[in-house]
Structure 1
Amino acid sequence: MTLTEIERPVPADDEVLVRVRATSVQPYDWHHMRGQPYVARLMPGGPGLRRPKFAILGADLAGQVEAVGKDVTGFGPGDEVFAMSKQGGFAEYGCVRAAELAPKPKNLTFEQAAAVPLAANTALIALRDQGRIRPGKKVLVNGASGGVGTFAVQLAKAFGAEVTGVCSTRNVDLVRSIGADEVIDYTKEDFLLTGQRYDILLDIAGSRSGSACRRALTPKGAYVVVGGQAGRWFEPVGHTFAALALSPFVSQTMSLADVVGCKQNRQNLLTLTEFIEDGKITPVIDRTYPFDEIPEAVAYQEAGHAPGKVVVTVSSGTHQ
């Protein structure tokens, strides 16, 4: 990754030019940076076959409207906004389709807002759309201390569910502090052997197979794949496909939280904003890096031990 000066982008007719104030780093970014797993290069929406599909990474951004395309209504210069875009967040200026842009939550800083879009959207899709969460349901979040996990725990509580989080010893207090009713330390206890059964099992960590996780589900429960352990060739794609292949043959629902393919991301951001402004969910930020240290931020996030989100404050200089 290099810091390079390029021309300021010009918004298309349906786009908004955003002066980026903050962005965040997540597995989506480094998977595209490395082009791994290799099998993903052959898939629609993958990182590109021979060369990177995206010149500028960064799926999350928060900032201020600088200019709008001629067909854009509802946004004007100076408006504070945030968005989930396929690329462009690792820059001082980025063009975003107006249909993907939403007003920034009033009670969040730019750094906090930049932590929300992809991770919180993923958690929302997993719980509401795939898990069909309802008040009183029992939810287990495997990987409760990461970016998606911290949002998932809070959202499940906001929906009125009973939540169990699975994490390592050092993150037990964090997961409990954001609302988990019970926390399982995976270094001391196997969540598959507790005898508990859950209506929704949100699998972010991918530490156990989908077939094994069925033992922790009710007969009509929902297993939702979010991620898995990274590999050079197949994982986490293999882990995901193996779980989905079970779905026609079992009584439980086995599904994927596909945030990249979702067509309602702006509406989801508006829904998340309601939860945020009502004080029901708050971004958990582990570290904040300056703009010129994005490579270090990516390396730290890729190591896989960040509790919550890794955020980057974008400088006001001339580089992009």
Structure 2
Amino acid sequence: MKACIYTPEKSEIKWSTEELALPTPAADQVQVKVLTASINPIDLALPVIPIVQKDCPGRPVGFDFAGEVTIGSGEYKKGDLVYGVARQGSFCEYTVADVSRIARIPKGMSPVVAASLPVATLVGYQALRDYGILSPGKSVLIIGASGGTGASAVQIAKAHGAKVYAVCSGRNADYVKSLGADVVLDYTKDGFQLPNDQCPAGTVDMVYDCVTSMQDMNYEPTARGTLKEGGMYVCTNATNLNDWMAFFVDRLVPFSVQRPNYSLALVDCNTKDLNDLSDMVSSGKLRIQIKEVPFTAEGCKEAVDAIVSRKIRGKVVIKMLIMSSDAPFIVSHSTSALSLKRFVPSFGCMELHSAIVSP
């Protein structure tokens, strides 16, 4: 099989070939022939986050996947179509996944759509649900409303009766309105700031910030002003490593060490929540705008470029192909260090390899 793997080094992103072994499932896992995989910003940041970077070398890139079970476990049998999160990577022809982190692809849903859901859509659904926004009368400000997680969050919040304020560029305003946003705020307008006349101080129960990070604009100092008293500021990334450390420590101790009324959002992939997303898609309450690329050097480069640019609407999904093992598969990635430093400015860069793996 073929795979795209991490090799963290201070060099440009490039593709080459090397041998890997086929993944073998444990008793509570299934082996899956991957049909589609989806890229997320975390896939680029993972190799340089100190807590997890040691696990990256040699590991296939990616988490999101949809595919066909080749070795079953529990209720999942050979031939079943499933989707979910693969801890050992998804940009590969075969992967393994915990049975607790997958769900069946429902009839009528394509593997392309299924692969787009697990990380970006699920993290937004869980954040909105866990902080009580999914009910009539609630309100949420979604920053980065045209991207993979933001666009899904707009639809999920609206489908459950919440009022949605959405921040995006002017060129994406009509798209975000079509998703159901009640108020669209164009951050590209001169003098844009939060709170403002469209979203005054003390307006929303929650801010769901899909933009703020160490590399992008920090909305939190001003966007916090839009919160009602006791409202929550939930962010998909952090402006510093201290917030990430506090987030993980918070899960190990019986008291909170995070800042007041603040939390990072990290997906907890599980079968029940995946089925909830499937139901929303099947009922028409949730639709994902998708850009498809092939599993080739050029296609994967295009997927990485789209994530780095922060300009993509919705999701990028990689479709697996049958490729000759002797096909040329080396390409220098033009965005390389400069682009990745938007994600990982303090830790250098990483090298991605496409690996040819013997069956």
Hey, what does 2:329 align to over in structure 1?
A: none
Hey, what does 1:232 align to over in structure 2?
A: none
Which one-letter code corresponds to 1:148 in the other structure?
T
Hey, what does 1:111 align to over in structure 2?
A: 112
State the distance in 1 between where 2:168 and 2:18 align: 38
Which of 255, 269, 276 is the equivalent residue of 2:263?
A: 255
- The 8 Å contact of residues 24 and 311 in structure 1, kept in 2 or not, is answered as yes
Superposed, which structure 2 residues align to 1:119-134 within 5 Å?
A: 119-134=120-135
Secondary structure of 1:214's aligned partner = helix
Q: 1:73 to 1:131 in 2, by over 3 A?
A: same
Hey, what does 1:23 align to over in structure 2?
A: 37
Which one-letter code corresponds to 1:254 in the other structure?
Y
Corresponding residue pairs, total: 293
Which of 58, 64, 67 is the equivalent residue of 1:60?
A: 64
Hey, what does 1:158 align to over in structure 2?
A: 159
State the distance in 2 between where 1:309 and 1:269 align: 17
State the distance in 2 between where 1:273 and 1:108 align: 8
Q: Does 1:268 align with 2:268?
A: no
Structure 1: gaps (5+ residues): 229-234
Which one-letter code corresponds to 1:309 in the other structure?
K
State the distance in 1 between where 2:243 and 2:99 align: 35
- The 8 Å contact of residues 131 and 224 in structure 1, kept in 2 or not, is answered as no
Q: 1:132 to 1:163 in 2, by over 3 A?
A: closer
State the distance in 1 between where 2:155 and 2:83 align: 20
- The 8 Å contact of residues 126 and 256 in structure 1, kept in 2 or not, is answered as no
The answer to which structure has the higher helix fraction is 1
User: Which structure has the higher relative contact order (CA within 8 Å, separation 6+)?
Assistant: 2
How far did residue 75 of structure 1 move?
A: 0.8
How far did residue 14 of structure 1 move?
A: 1.4
Hey, what does 1:136 align to over in structure 2?
A: 137
Taking only the aligned residue pairs, the percentage that are identical comes to 34
Hey, what does 2:181 align to over in structure 1?
A: 180
State the distance in 2 between where 1:18 and 1:2 align: 24
Hey, what does 2:93 align to over in structure 1?
A: 92
Which of 195, 198, 201 is the equivalent residue of 2:207?
A: 201
How far did residue 57 of structure 1 move?
A: 1.0
Which one-letter code corresponds to 2:88 in the other structure?
Q
- The 8 Å contact of residues 83 and 102 in structure 1, kept in 2 or not, is answered as yes
Q: Does 1:300 align with 2:306?
A: yes
Which of 28, 42, 59 is the equivalent residue of 1:14?
A: 28
TM-score (norm 1): 0.84
Hey, what does 2:230 align to over in structure 1?
A: 220
Hey, what does 1:282 align to over in structure 2?
A: 287
Q: Which protein shows a greater Rg?
A: 2
State the distance in 2 between where 1:11 and 1:205 align: 36
- The 8 Å contact of residues 67 and 111 in structure 2, kept in 1 or not, is answered as yes
How far did residue 53 of structure 1 move?
A: 4.9
Q: 1:240 to 1:32 in 2, by over 3 A?
A: closer
Q: 1:288 to 1:10 in 2, by over 3 A?
A: same
Q: 1:130 to 1:256 in 2, by over 3 A?
A: farther
State the distance in 2 between where 1:295 and 1:60 align: 17
TM-score (norm 2): 0.75
Q: Deviations over 1:52-97 (max 9, x none)?
A: 35611111000111112xxx21111111110122332100110111
Q: Deviations over 1:239-270 (max 9, x none)?
A: 7679997744xxxx2222121xx3x5222111
Q: 1:54 to 1:157 in 2, by over 3 A?
A: farther
State the distance in 2 between where 1:89 and 1:240 align: 24
Q: 1:311 to 1:236 in 2, by over 3 A?
A: farther
How far did residue 205 of structure 1 move?
A: 1.0
Structure 1 residue runs of 4 or more that deviate by more than 6 Å after TM superposition:
239-246
Which one-letter code corresponds to 2:284 in the other structure?
G
Hey, what does 1:83 align to over in structure 2?
A: 84
State the distance in 1 between where 2:65 and 2:293 align: 14
Secondary structure of 1:117's aligned partner = coil
- The 8 Å contact of residues 194 and 223 in structure 2, kept in 1 or not, is answered as no
Q: 1:210 to 1:100 in 2, by over 3 A?
A: same
How far did residue 123 of structure 1 move?
A: 0.3
How far did residue 212 of structure 1 move?
A: 2.6
State the distance in 2 between where 1:295 and 1:211 align: 35
